[in-house]
């Protein structure tokens, strides 16, 4: 047999000795939160790949709630729809891209501006809640408005020819708005008192659904209109031209749910449709309620024509409630069945955008930005915000997006082309116990050099997130490909990777090698068998010929040392024999030996019975030992492969050993024959051992035993035993042989006539 084949066969016959050191795998996708990424993304296969830079812009938010975002006529000019003031604001971005300023354009006669669209001629079309208003604003003035027969205008979708579709909630409808006809109206707002009044202002019914809200709209490449609903979370497709039906077009169902909310839609150039669907624990929990506190009533902040409305101070950011639902990214192909690309637990996704082969999704409740790689078909986590939610984003140039933040409100850049260092920092990771850290190794780095990486390590002996941490320690790259530091100890740690690289690359999972703190062996159980019993150790079973896959993937440590079949070993009677057994545990799986010793009371020298044994028992003879009481001890010492300088030992004081060669002393014996029974009373005493009982053999062959003393408790070296023998059983006997036994197996005998 060849040597490689022989080694392979030996490996399959049992587990090899395990090393004392351990290793912990760091999955970057699992262990790096969104807020601790810069210029990097984590992928579902655990790797780090290039990602965007998330930068919060400096500036004072114009309102507590930022709902809608629309681009202006220049890259620096943007418009916001806000709440609870129901205002439109113009935002000007700084030339260096680090901050912004804002000014109020106007206030609308409603509290929340949820939808906003800038028309090509510079006018703004805004949709509100809870009054369901459509307002046309030009040069800071409301030039036309119409109140739709709904509670809220949730989305606006521009079409060709000056047409805009408006999605409403309660009821779920889509209205077709002719902007030219709406702008031509000069009267006051139109109440929801009939289709004729709406049609006079250019508003006609495009379509409707049975669900309560039409949350989002998108136009597919073939001209159909996609709609997402709430609180069921369905996806619909309306024909491009619904026809003359006054009740609106009949939609086709693309994707059905029961309790969910479609928070955004994105139409692809190839006819596919992407949607984010939020599944909340209750159908009443929507994006609006999870994003912030509920809006106030319309009367809380009325508009005052001709006067500057009062500006209340901004309230402190609302504390977000932890979202316990889940979100899904769904793809609907132009011909085929819908496909769930990815799901995220405890995360609400609000808006999506596309960057090449990447889908970018913004959400909360920790300001997360996530994504999906359409080419690799893997989920991604992008750098996130310090705010609680990122609830809107729009393209703002090649590889750049402008995002709205809430709790606290503000603006931010998501820039895939940003230069500068890229970094990723893990959350607090924890070892099973304190230990010493060794090398940090990366499975594979592609597209970049290992020398381009800066690897840093930070440790703590506690579990607090902020207190008790040491400084960041740079690790040095050594020739074997591992990053190492000097004497890094701790229980918790954080790992940070930094590099400057512009091309595509990937960094595979990291492995943290560590040596757990060496803990002393523990004595779980110690027993002395009764005197006069010896042990015949059963042979050890042969090792198994095969290993299971589970044993190879999750090998178990043999922490307790001892024969697995010791309890099945026979026990035989041997005069003077003693057996001690023990169960030892080493928390770290060290190999160890045991030394058992005894010492007689009054002496100073220990007598070692067995030295350096690996067995969990010892057999010895006491016939040659002087009588008396002996102390016993078990000294356990770690051995190889633990280095000699690091080996620990511990001495356990174990059970008392009594060596007794002398029989008990019989103090008194009495036999009384009565009318019904013969009563035999024996009083005895032993110098060292407790008395066990009384055996009796009558001269007519009857044998009796008494193990219960007269006082009811067998607990002394002097006891009285009584036997009441009925006369019919004692008939024919006139003598008895008495044997008093002690715990050491000694016996004193006397013959008695009665």
Q: What is the pLDDT of residue 544?
A: 65
Q: What is the pLDDT of residue 7?
A: 39
Q: What is the pLDDT of residue 350?
A: 94
Give a yes or no: residue 552 inside a domain. no
Return the structure tokens found at 477. 């790259």
Kindly indicate the confidence band of residue 185, based on its pLDDT and cuts at 50, 70 and 90. confident
Same domain for 220 and 330, yes or no, is yes
Give a yes or no: residue 431 inside a domain. yes
Render pLDDT for 327-350 as a digit per residue (tens, 0 to 9): 999 999 998 899 999 999 999 999
Residue 311 has pLDDT above 50, yes or no: no
Q: Which residues contact 529 (CB under 8 A, 6 or more apart)?
A: 535, 571, 578, 579, 580, 581
Give a yes or no: residue 632 inside a domain. yes
Among 400, 415, 430, residue at a domain's last position = 415
Residue 499 has pLDDT above 60, yes or no: yes
Render pLDDT for 388-398 as a digit per residue (tens, 0 to 9): 999 999 999 99
**CATH number (domain holding residue 482):** 2.60.120
Kindly indicate the confidence band of residue 552, based on its pLDDT and cuts at 50, 70 and 90. low
d(CA 215, CA 154): 6
When divided into structural domains, the chain yields a total of 4
- Mode of pairing for the β-strands spanning 389-395 and 665-673: unpaired
Same domain for 493 and 615, yes or no, is no
Q: Which residues contact 652 (CB under 8 A, 6 or more apart)?
A: 523, 526, 633, 634, 635, 636
Work out the number of other CB atoms within 10 angstroms of the CB of residue 526.
Answer: 17
Work out the number of other CB atoms within 10 angstroms of the CB of residue 185.
Answer: 17
Residue appearing with tokens 């050993």:
657
What mean pLDDT do residues 154-171 have?
96
d(CA 102, CA 94): 11
What mean pLDDT do residues 487-497 have?
96
Residue 561 has pLDDT above 90, yes or no: no
d(CA 329, CA 424): 25
Q: What is the pLDDT of residue 509?
A: 96
d(CA 61, CA 101): 9
Give a yes or no: residue 10 inside a domain. no
Same domain for 294 and 164, yes or no, is yes
Same domain for 337 and 201, yes or no, is yes
Return the structure tokens found at 289. 């309620």
Q: Give, in order, the Cα–Cα distances in Å from 307 to each of 42, 88, 131, 343, 662.
A: 52, 16, 22, 49, 116
Kindly indicate the confidence band of residue 700, based on its pLDDT and cuts at 50, 70 and 90. very high
Q: What is the pLDDT of residue 554?
A: 62
Same domain for 296 and 227, yes or no, is yes
Residue 190 has pLDDT above 80, yes or no: no
Are 660 and 744 contacting, i.e. CB atoms less than 8 angstroms apart?
yes
Same domain for 35 and 81, yes or no, is no
Render pLDDT for 94-113 as a digit per residue (tens, 0 to 9): 999 899 999 999 999 999 99
Residues constituting the chain: 754
Same domain for 28 and 90, yes or no, is no
d(CA 4, CA 238): 68
Render pLDDT for 458-480 as a digit per residue (tens, 0 to 9): 999 999 999 999 999 999 999 99
Q: What is the pLDDT of residue 10?
A: 38
Kindly indicate the confidence band of residue 539, based on its pLDDT and cuts at 50, 70 and 90. confident
Give a yes or no: residue 31 inside a domain. yes
Same domain for 409 and 468, yes or no, is no
Same domain for 57 and 45, yes or no, is no
What mean pLDDT do residues 73-98 have?
95
Hey, which residues does 719 pair with through a beta bridge?
684
The burial class, CB within 10 Å (0-12 / 13-18 / 19+), for 610 is middle
What mean pLDDT do residues 161-182 have?
95
* Helix residue spans in 331-464 (DSSP H): none
Least confident segment among 297-306, 505-514, 654-663: 297-306
Q: What is the pLDDT of residue 158?
A: 97
d(CA 81, CA 107): 10
The burial class, CB within 10 Å (0-12 / 13-18 / 19+), for 717 is middle
Render pLDDT for 504-519 as a digit per residue (tens, 0 to 9): 999 999 999 999 999 9
- Please give the distance of CA 393 from its chain centroid, rounded to a whole number: 30
Among 365, 396, 415, residue at a domain's last position = 415
Are 280 and 259 contacting, i.e. CB atoms less than 8 angstroms apart?
yes
Residue 288 has pLDDT above 90, yes or no: no
Return the structure tokens found at 163. 């047409």
Q: What is the pLDDT of residue 419?
A: 87
DSSP 8-state class, residue 707: -
Are 176 and 205 contacting, i.e. CB atoms less than 8 angstroms apart?
yes
The burial class, CB within 10 Å (0-12 / 13-18 / 19+), for 306 is exposed
Render pLDDT for 197-215 as a digit per residue (tens, 0 to 9): 899 899 999 999 999 999 9
Q: What percentage of residues in the chain have a pLDDT greater than 70?
A: 88
Kindly indicate the confidence band of residue 305, based on its pLDDT and cuts at 50, 70 and 90. very low
249 is in which domain, residue-wise? 53-302+320-415
Kindly indicate the confidence band of residue 16, based on its pLDDT and cuts at 50, 70 and 90. very low
Residue 50 has pLDDT above 90, yes or no: yes
d(CA 339, CA 349): 17
Residue 313 has pLDDT above 70, yes or no: no
Hey, which residues does 525 pair with through a beta bridge?
583
Dihedrals φ, ψ of 237, to 5°?
-130, 120
What mean pLDDT do residues 706-717 have?
94
d(CA 233, CA 215): 9
Which secondary structure element, helix H or strand E, spans residue 435, and what is its range?
Answer: strand 429-442
**CATH number (domain holding residue 602):** 2.60.40.10
Are 169 and 151 contacting, i.e. CB atoms less than 8 angstroms apart?
yes
Q: What is the pLDDT of residue 8?
A: 40
Are 165 and 175 contacting, i.e. CB atoms less than 8 angstroms apart?
yes
Same domain for 633 and 694, yes or no, is no
How many Cα neighbours within 13 Å face the side chain of 602?
4
Closest CA to 696 of 687, 704, 684, 688: 704
Among 613, 634, 659, residue at a domain's last position = 659
Give a yes or no: residue 42 inside a domain. yes
Residue 11 has pLDDT above 60, yes or no: no
Mean pLDDT of the chain: 88
DSSP assignment of 160-200 equals TTSEEEEEEESS-EEEEEEHHHHHH--SSPBPSS-HHHHHT
Q: Nearest 10 degrees: CA dihedral of 520, 521, 527, 531? A: -90
Q: What percentage of residues in the chain have a pLDDT greater than 90?
A: 77
Same domain for 92 and 174, yes or no, is yes
Residue 116 has pLDDT above 60, yes or no: yes
What mean pLDDT do residues 222-239 have?
96
Same domain for 506 and 529, yes or no, is no
Dihedrals φ, ψ of 8, to 5°?
-65, -40
Least confident segment among 352-361, 428-437, 538-547, 610-619: 538-547
Give a yes or no: residue 449 inside a domain. yes
Q: What is the pLDDT of residue 551?
A: 63
Tell if the pTM clears 0.75, that is, is over it. Answer: yes
Q: What is the pLDDT of residue 548?
A: 75
Residue 81 has pLDDT above 70, yes or no: yes
Residue 314 has pLDDT above 70, yes or no: no
Kindly indicate the confidence band of residue 553, based on its pLDDT and cuts at 50, 70 and 90. low
Q: CA angle at residue 267 from 261 to 272, to 5 degrees?
A: 100
Give a yes or no: residue 6 inside a domain. no
C-alpha distance across the termini of the chain, in Å: 83
**CATH number (domain holding residue 339):** 2.130.10.10
Kindly indicate the confidence band of residue 310, based on its pLDDT and cuts at 50, 70 and 90. very low
Closest CA to 510 of 24, 40, 22, 20: 24
């Amino acid at each position: 047999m060849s040597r490689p084949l022989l080694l392979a066969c030996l490996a399959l016959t049992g587990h090899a000795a395990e090393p004392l050191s351990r290793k912990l795998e760091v999955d970057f996708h699992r262990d790096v939160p969104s807020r601790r990424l810069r210029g990097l993304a984590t992928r579902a296969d655990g790797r780090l790949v290039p990602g965007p830079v998330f930068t919060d812009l400096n500036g004072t938010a114009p309102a507590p709630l930022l709902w809608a975002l629309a681009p202006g006529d220049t890259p620096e000019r943007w418009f916001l729809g806000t709440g609870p003031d129901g205002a439109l604001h113009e935002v000007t971005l700084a030339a260096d891209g680090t901050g912004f300023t804002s000014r109020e354009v106007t206030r609308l006669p409603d509290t929340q501006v949820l939808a906003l669209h800038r028309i090509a001629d510079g006018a703004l079309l805004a949709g509100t809640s809870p009054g369901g208003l459509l307002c046309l604003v030009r040069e800071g003035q409301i030039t036309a408005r119409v109140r739709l027969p709904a509670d809220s205008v949730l989305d606006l979708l521009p079409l060709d020819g000056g047409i805009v579709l408006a999605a409403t909630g309660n009821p779920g409808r889509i209205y077709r708005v002719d902007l030219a006809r709406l702008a031509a109206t000069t009267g006051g707002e139109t109440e929801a008192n009939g289709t004729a009044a709406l049609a006079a202002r250019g508003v006609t019914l495009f379509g409707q659904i049975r669900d309560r809200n039409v949350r989002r709209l998108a136009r597919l490449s073939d001209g159909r209109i996609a709609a997402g609903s709430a609180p069921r979370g369905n996806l619909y497709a309306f024909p491009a031209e619904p026809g003359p039906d006054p009740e609106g077009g009949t939609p086709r169902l693309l994707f059905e749910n029961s309790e969910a909310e479609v928070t955004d839609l994105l139409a692809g150039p190839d006819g596919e449709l992407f949607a984010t669907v939020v599944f909340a624990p209750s159908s009443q929990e929507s994006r609006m309620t999870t994003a912030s506190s509920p809006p106030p009533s319309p009367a809380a902040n009325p508009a005052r024509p001709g006067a500057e409305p009062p500006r209340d101070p901004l309230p402190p950011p609302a504390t977000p409630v932890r979202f316990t639902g889940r979100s899904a990214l769904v793809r609907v192909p132009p011909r085929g069945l819908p496909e769930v690309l990815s799901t995220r637990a405890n995360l609400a996704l609000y808006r999506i955008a596309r960057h090449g082969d990447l889908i970018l999704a913004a959400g909360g409740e920790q300001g997360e930005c996530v994504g999906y790689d359409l080419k690799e078909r893997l989920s991604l986590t992008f750098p996130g915000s310090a705010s609680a939610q990122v609830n809107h984003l729009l393209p703002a140039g090649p590889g750049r997006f402008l995002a709205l933040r809430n709790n606290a409100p503000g603006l931010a850049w998501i820039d895939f082309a940003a230069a500068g260092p890229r970094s990723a920092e893990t959350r607090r990771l924890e070892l099973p116990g304190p230990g010493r850290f060794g090398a940090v190794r990366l499975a594979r780095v592609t597209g970049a050099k290992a020398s381009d990486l800066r690897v840093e390590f930070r440790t703590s002996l506690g579990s607090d997130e902020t207190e008790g941490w040491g400084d960041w320690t740079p690790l040095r790259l050594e020739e074997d490909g591992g990053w190492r530091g000097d004497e890094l100890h701790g229980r918790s740690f954080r790992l940070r990777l930094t590099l400057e690289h512009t091309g595509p690359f990937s960094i595979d999972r990291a492995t943290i090698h560590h040596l757990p703190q060496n803990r002393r062996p523990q004595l779980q159980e110690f027993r002395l068998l009764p005197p006069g019993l010896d042990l015949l150790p059963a042979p050890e079973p042969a090792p198994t010929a095969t290993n299971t896959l589970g044993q190879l993937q999750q090998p178990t440590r043999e922490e307790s040392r001892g024969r697995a079949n010791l309890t099945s070993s026979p026990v035989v009677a041997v005069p003077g024999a003693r057996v001690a057994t023990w169960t030892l545990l080493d928390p770290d799986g060290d190999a160890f030996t045991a030394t058992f010793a005894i010492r007689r009371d009054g002496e100073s020298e220990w007598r070692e019975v067995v030295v350096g044994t690996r067995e969990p028992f010892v057999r010895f003879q006491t016939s040659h030992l002087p009588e008396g009481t002996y102390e016993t001890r078990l000294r356990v010492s770690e051995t190889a492969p633990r280095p000699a300088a690091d080996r620990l030992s511990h001495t356990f004081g174990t059970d008392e050993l009594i060596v007794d060669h002398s029989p008990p002393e019989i103090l008194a014996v009495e036999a009384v024959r009565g009318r019904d029974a013969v009563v035999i009373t024996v009083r005895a005493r032993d110098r060292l051992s407790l008395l066990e009982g009384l055996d009796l053999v009558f001269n007519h062959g009857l044998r009796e035993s008494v193990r219960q003393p007269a006082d009811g408790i067998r607990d002394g070296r002097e006891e009285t035993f009584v036997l009441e023998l009925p006369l019919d059983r004692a008939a024919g006997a006139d003598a008895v042989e008495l044997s008093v036994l002690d715990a050491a197996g000694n016996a004193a005998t006397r013959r008695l006539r009665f």
